[in-house]
Structure 1
Amino acid sequence: MAHRSVAQIWHTLGHADAVHGLYYLLMHGVFALWDGGETALRLPSVLAVATAAVGVALIGRMLAGPRAGVLAGLVFPLIPTVQRYAQEGRSYALVCALITWSTWLLLTAISRRGGLRWSAYTAVLLTACLLHELAVVTLLAHGATVFRSGLPRAVIRAWGVAAGCVAVGLLPLAAFSTTQAEQVHWIGFPDLWQTTRFVVAALLGLLCARVLGRTEPDAGRPVELRTLALSLLILPTVLLILLTPVRPLYVDRYVLSYTIGLALLIGAALDRIRREATRARARASALRGAVTVAAAGAALAALFPVGAYLRTPQSRQNDADAVARAVREVAHPGDGVLFMPARRRVWTLARPEAFRGLSDLALEHSPVTSNTLHGTEFTPGRIRARILTARRIVAVHDLAGQPLESDAQEVAKRETLRAHFEECESHTVTQAEITVHARPGSC
């Protein structure tokens, strides 16, 4: 997408992925400056997490002191979910960074007032929402913080105006994206793993909040840290989960900003434990200090294998390189290739050279020429006729047990292969299945 022209990106967004349009245009600009392949693709996410860590440290400093801020800033990039999206060429790390800095701007506007600071807060949060529209749930966390902190009526009014501007600015994109709602039909009820991760993070945050206790805001600390942090940690995720019976939308990366709240709470709690230890008697201080160091060391040791695993291809659902290699190993020049369903053609777009010499039997117009994500395919009858001209076909499809697409093109592919070909060999590559079919007796 990023290598298409601006006009091609614009026309594609009319069919699909309007919610990612700003990110595609941003990456188009990155590649125009430096076409560094996967490094250029991933570098904005790495820089975004680094920038977010600085923002978390400054928020922690403002609300709990310098050491708490530094600790929170160090904890943030160690959180496994943050590590994951720091590595990926997607918008979620950038959105998290913008939410971090919008939160810092909110606190600055509350403590120092001034229309320019409120304008900056509005602009940064609106940019986050335009990169991914579900970032708008951050308004719930910010609103809860503002209303629960006993702030002057003028501050509450200023935040209300800023929130209204964000909502109005996002409205055109939100309205248009509803025409592409079928793209999120794959989202179902939260699975056990996602739910467990959130529950563990929430319980850890609540435990840290209990360690902190309640503190009164002062002129230098406009809101209580645990009020802000718990709002960021819990409210956006709970809102998306509660919306599931109406429209399932909960995916943890959509609310990656919960990690900001978690890091703030852990950093402040560690600082509180350290301060309590220094106030105790020398012997007790040494004991508590040793326990704290041991606990921190154990936590880092536990995170190390997680971080190492996240840096392997096996940690991801799909490995486009491995799919391309598997096809190259089993395919012969002149073989046909079928993608079942058609959207699995996306697995080939990163390594098109691996598919040269193969005939895409169902493809009528390529993704670029058709201004689509996956290309457009022939009619069912034409697909059947083209399959019957081949003696050997490599099928790239989902693993057995996955729901089968019911549209006529996909049915034609499956039935023609079943009736006129036999399966020669099959290889599983992460979530892809590479199967070679040939005419009976030709394997």
Structure 2
Amino acid sequence: MIRCRFSGLTAKYAEKAVCMVTLDRPVVVRRGAGPAPRPTRRASLWIGLAAGLVAYVGAGVPSYWGDEAASVLSAQRSWESLTAELSTVDAVHGLYYALLHVWIDLFGSSEWSTRAPSAIGIGFLAAGVVVLGRRWYDARTAILAGVLIPLIPRAGVLAVEARGYALAAAAAVWVTVLFVHTVDRGSGRVIWVLYGAAVAAGGTLFLYLLLMPMVHAAWLFTWRAFHGRVARRWIGSMLIAVVLAAPIILAASTQRGQVAFLAHRGYMSPRGWFVTPWFAHPAPAALLLPLLLIGVLVVVRRRRSIPGALPTLVWLLAPAAVLVVLDVFVSPTYNPRYLSISLGAVALLISSGAWALVDVAQRLGVRGGALAGASLIAISAVVLVPEFVHQRTQFAKDGGADGRAVAAEVAARSDPGDTILFGTGTRPSRAPRLIYRLYPEAFAGLEDPQLITPAEQTDGLWDRMDVVSDTAPTLDDGTVWLLETGSSGSAEDDIAALLRAGFTQVSRTDVHRTIVYEFQKGTS
């Protein structure tokens, strides 16, 4: 029996209606099933390549910051040491650290090298948005969304960062493409098993990718396919995903105390909900947030003619809602960076909003549409390009990370046999000790008396160190270089300890966020 549901669609969209062909088991068939049109495939390829290249511009300019230090230093450990670390901390980043370990073995540990996978991830994200947007919306919405990806501030930041979020954003799109393809083709059990495995792999790369099946369920409801064989196979694939992802879920649960600091970051605020996740700062938000809201209104109003309306809205809202609920009722969880998995939805909705404005202007005449388009491009260039450039300046990370400049300062002024000391009064992600670990060639030949146990010989992230006040009395005559993060924290106590030990302060150099002090004792 063949039963076609037109659901009140106009003739223009009737051909996209869902037809249920019932023999012994229901199958979903619709126009558009099968490979994407060749022009769309070409567009996704070229837009993805261009987005990745644009995203990589300036990738090596900013100094590393604390989160990147966790990535790079973890990836440089031996496999045995990395396994020990993940047993106690950062298990949710373990797959990314493993991938970066292989990458560093091949291409080195410079900023240009370690950030390249993220730029590649942004390229895949843009390409996937084009493919998915063509199936869920139309060609023009899909193409503009792909073009916008590297210019959305959050994507621009992630592209030049040695963390796994850009790859996670790309995985969110492509596992959705796989799911839509699986449903459209009426695929067999093997593909459904692969889909379940892909969901689990995504969750292992980034835990909250396990929320993407909520988006996929919305797609099934949109096409009224949540029954019969499709429903059974989707539920079966979810069971496979849960079983395969159980280890990372368990590890995340046992290590949740690691993110307790989120309770003190102020992320649970209007700015943390509406600006920081995707737009970084108020100026880009003033342009992109209205376009996003217009896009939401468009897809709600035209939900019967936009197949991806409900899934896109779920993609935008559900991950944020889940994180907020967990933060309020379970433990500190909400971090705007985690919503990078929704970047695909953000791009599609912004594109929809932009085209809606152009369409409204077009009704006023051809010149109106052209003027609206030109105005949007000009405003975007004025607002988004400076943000893109700022993200790629030397001290752009973490409010002024300056490790490379500090390392260069020490390398230029120190001599072999000098001593290097580090303040310990700041949080680990801003500890000046990280500069020594990330740029070791600048400190070659310097004595390092504070070290107790290197990180790679522990099951933690960081080196175990003595404090300056305990180390200073043991130092011989000579030159000591002291690195402090600002003049707060341990700086005053560390300086006082060196003075008590007979050293004289010779100079102070404020690099940016880090201060380099020079002390001497017993030298002419």
Common fold by TM > 0.5: yes
TM-score normalized by the length of structure 1: 0.83
Task: Describe the superposition over 1:17-52 as per-residue Cα deviations: whole angstroms up to 9, x where unpaired.
Answer: 222221121122223344474333222111111111
Matched to 2:275, the amino acid is R
Corresponding residue of 1:389 = 475
Q: Is the 8 A contact 2:295 2:349 kept in 1?
A: yes
- Cα 1:125–1:426 change in 2 (3 A) is farther
The equivalent residue for 1:434 is 516
Residue in 2 that maps onto 1:102: 175
> Which has the larger displacement, 207-216 or 257-266?
207-216
Aligned pairs for 1:315-394 (under 5 A) are 315-317=396-398, 318-329=401-412, 331-341=414-424, 343=428, 344=431, 345-370=433-458, 372-377=460-465, 384=470, 387-391=473-477, 392-394=479-481
What is the Cα deviation at residue 81 of structure 1?
1.0
CA contact (8 A) 2:469 2:498 kept: no
State the 1:352 CA deviation.
Answer: 0.5
User: 1:305 and 1:401, CA in 2 relative to 1: closer, same or farther beyond 3 A?
Assistant: same
Q: Choose the corresponding residue for 2:275, options 170, 174, 197.
A: 197
- Aligned partner of 2:96 in structure 1 is 23
Q: 8 Å contact 1:105–1:118 — kept in the other structure? A: no
Q: Look up the match of 1:56.
A: 129
- 3-state DSSP of counterpart to 1:248: coil
Amino acid across the alignment from 2:376: A
The 1:271/1:33 distance shift into structure 2, 3 A limit, reads: same
Secondary structure in structure 1 of the residue aligned to 2:365: helix
When structure 1 is superposed on structure 2, of 290-299 and 255-264 the one drifting more is: 290-299
Distance (whole Å) between structure 1 residues aligned to residue 353 and residue 437 of structure 2: 46
Greater alpha carbon shift after TM alignment, 289-298 vs 365-374: 365-374
Q: Say if 2:211 is the partner of 1:137.
A: yes
Q: 1:333/1:19 Cα in 2 relative to 1: closer, same or farther (>3 Å)?
A: same
- Where do residues 285-296 of structure 1 align in structure 2 (5 Å cutoff)? 285-296=366-377
Shift in Å, 1:304? 1.1
Are the counterparts in 2 of residues 362 and 386 from structure 1 also a CA contact under 8 Å? Answer: no
Q: d(CA) in 1 for partners of 2:321 and 2:368?
A: 39
**Unpaired runs of at least 5, structure 1:** 405-409
- Tell which deviates more after alignment, 267-276 or 296-305: 267-276
What secondary structure sits across from 1:247 in the alignment? coil
User: With CA pairs under 8 Å and 6+ residues apart, which has the higher RCO, 1 or 2?
Assistant: 2
Asked if 2 retains the 8 angstrom alpha-carbon contact of 1:71 and 1:267, the reply is: yes
What is the aligned partner in structure 1 of residue 28 from structure 2?
none
Residues 346 and 373, structure 1, Cα contact 8 Å, conserved in 2: no
Whether the aligned pair in 2 keeps the contact of 1:49 and 1:86 (CA below 8 Å) is yes
The yes-or-no answer on 1:229 pairing with 2:312 is yes
Residues in 1 aligned to 2:500 and 2:215: alpha-carbon distance in whole angstroms: 57
Q: Measure how far apart 1:307 and its partner are.
A: 1.0
Which one-letter code corresponds to 1:207 in the other structure?
Answer: I
Corresponding position: 1:209 with 2:283: no
Q: Report the TM-score when normalising by structure 2.
A: 0.71
For 2:333, which of 217, 241, 249 is the aligned residue? 249
Is 1:122 aligned with 2:207?
Answer: no
Measured after TM superposition, the shift of residue 305 of structure 1 is 0.8
Shift of 1:75: 1.4
The code of the aligned residue for 2:156 comes to Q
Q: What one-letter code is carried by the residue in structure 2 that aligns with 1:324?
A: A
Alignment-mate amino acid for residue 237 of structure 2 = A
- Structure 1 distance, partners of 2:409, 2:268, is 30
Q: In the TM superposition, what is the alpha-carbon distance from 1:263 to its structure 2 partner?
A: 0.6
Q: Counterpart of 1:407?
A: none
Note if contact 2:273-2:336 (Cα within 8 Å) is conserved in structure 1: no
Q: 1:252 to 1:217 in 2, by over 3 A?
A: same
Moved more, 421-430 or 129-138: 421-430
Given residue 259 of structure 1, which amino acid in structure 2 is its aligned partner?
L
Superposed displacement of residue 160, structure 1: 3.5
CA shift digits 1:77-97 (9 cap, x unpaired): 221110111112221111111
Name 2:243's counterpart in structure 1.
168
SS in 2 for 1:337: strand
Q: 1:252 to 1:73 in 2, by over 3 A?
A: same
1:398 equivalent to 2:485? Answer yes
2-side partners of 1:436 and 1:195: how far apart?
Answer: 44
Q: Is 1:184 the equivalent of 2:259?
A: yes
**Percent identity for Structure 1 against Structure 2:** 25
Take 2:195 and 2:276, find their aligned partners in 1: how far apart are those partners? 28
Structure 2 residue 163 is the aligned partner of structure 1 residue 85: no
Structure 1 residues 142 and 39, CA gap change in structure 2 (3 angstroms): same
Question: Which residue, 61, 72, 77 being the options, matches 1:4?
Answer: 77
Q: 2:193, 2:237 within 8 Å by CA — same for their partners in 1?
A: yes
**Pairwise CA distance, 1:211:** 3.2
Secondary structure at the counterpart of residue 115 of structure 2: helix
1:265-321 CA-to-partner distances (Å, cap 9, x unmatched) read: 12233444555666x4xx623223312321232122321111111111222121321
Equivalent-residue separation in structure 2 for 1:426 and 1:141 (angstroms): 55
Deviation at 1:54, TM superposition (A): 0.7
Q: Deviations over 1:157-209 (max 9, x none)?
A: 44343334333322212323444444323323307653451585665422212
Closer, same or farther in 2 for the Cα pair 1:413/1:149, shift >3 Å?
Answer: farther
Number of matched pairs: 427
Q: Secondary structure of the residue that 2:301 maps to in structure 1?
A: coil
Is the 8 Å Cα contact of residues 505 and 518 (structure 2) preserved in structure 1? yes
Contact residue 208 and residue 269 of structure 1 kept, 8 A: yes
| Matches of 2:241 and 2:186, distance apart in 1 | 19
